[in-house]
Homo-oligomer: A and B are copies of this chain.
Amino acid sequence: MRASILTIGNELLIGQVIDTNSAWLADNLTRLGFEVIKILSIPDSSHAIAQAVNELMLQSDLVISTGGLGPTSDDRTKPTLCDLFGGHLVLHEPSLSLIDQLFRNRGLPLTETNKNQALIPSSCTPILNYHGTAPGMIFRKGNCYLVSLPGVPFEMMNMFTEGVRPFIEQNFSLPAIVQLTVNTFGIPESFLSDKLSDFEKYLEANSITLAYLPSPSGIRLRLNATGNDRSRLSSLLDLAVNELKGLIGENIFGFNDETLPSVVSQKLRGKNATLAVAESCTGGYISHLITQLPGSSDIFKGGIVAYSNETKQSLLGVNHELLINHGAVSKPVVEAMLEGALRVFQCDYAIAVSGIAGPTGASTGKPVGTTWIGVASRETQKVELHTFGNLREVNIQRAAYTVLFLLLKLLK
């Protein structure tokens, strides 16, 4: 079954707003067993709406549209759909009473404009909106359904979950879908694909699709199996994951929503151990990645952003001569930062990073991107040199995730 998503709104076409509705809908439709073939964004224009709806309905079994249902005259979706599917506007009493309730709760008067939100085309099946004024509408043409929802994300999501999903489950017969994401780090995409070329053939023979999703936080591998028998699909994916573990086990750090910060935090929690960070070029970003997670105070003692040589000396006890003889971006200094962090924070594990994030700061033999990273427990230290790229922001991210991956290896 094929589905399309249509997002309507001038704000999308001028780039004022990032379209988050589409990804949310695409994820939900995919999980229901649809193949999403197109996501289209168009302005609030009757002509554009009519054209897009006609076109997408010819190509799909289901079209979900969002947006253009507001009470102001620049919102064109409802009148256009009424023209397109026929019928006339009728008052939908249950929607009116919800709207009335909404305004009473907010202590606001119910104006004529707001009342008109409860008018819907007689040709549609309405969907109640418990969080806003615009009801949803389901239309049918031939074998295709069009569902029109408001563009406000939480209204749309609630209506999809409460009203649209049950409708879909009743009216479509969909295949079983099992998905699994394998999260990797420390191997570039091209090396990964070389290593996995036979594996990909194996997947293809078993009708499993594989997608590579690269970012500075690693490459996620998404496996997707579609069929009729959910338990058979699950076993197939389990086998595939075992195969993957044999091929790139060292690079796999987690599955699905797990991230390097979340996996490292879980490992520390499992060991009842604590962590501190001494960072230079990453400037607080590593601490931020860890403290972003709820409950991080269990395992995180704190961090020092040692952005100057003085701070490295005074707060972390890095020896002045080390800094003079080797420079701040050097192995001995990162080693001393690790020792300092363990001592100062009285913790079980430490992270240290010193590098040249750029664009300035390069010197002979130390180009922009040169970064020493290190991790330590009370017993052992691991320090590595990495040379990242030219972009400051990306260098900061790569240094942070690379050192978290190194820590994970130490924690294993």
Contacts and interface: CB of A to CB of B under 8 A. Distances in A.
A305 B289 CA distance: 12
Interface string A273-312: 0000100011111111011101111001111111110110
A282 B290 CA distance: 11
A25 B12 CA distance: 11
Interface residues of A, number: 113
A218 interface: no
Nearest to A393: B292
Nearest to A285: B288
Contact of A297 (B39, B158, B308): B308
A139 B41 CA distance: 24
Given A11-B222, A73-B200, A291 B307 contact: yes
A324 interface: no
Interface of A: 10-20, 22-30, 35-43, 48, 70-74, 102, 105-108, 111, 113-114, 130-131, 133, 152, 154, 158, 181, 188-191, 193-194, 200, 209-214, 220, 222, 224, 277, 281-288, 290-292, 294-297, 300-308, 310-311, 314-315, 344-346, 358-361, 367, 369, 387-394, 396
Contacts of A315: 302, 304, 315, 344
Contacts of A308: 297, 301-302
Contacts of A20: 18
27 contacts: A12-B23, A12-B26, A13-B35, A14-B26, A15-B27, A18-B18, A18-B20, A37-B43, A37-B48, A40-B41, A70-B214, A71-B190, A72-B212, A105-B367, A105-B387, A106-B188, A106-B388, A108-B188, A158-B391, A284-B305, A294-B360, A294-B392, A296-B307, A302-B311, A310-B346, A311-B345, A315-B315
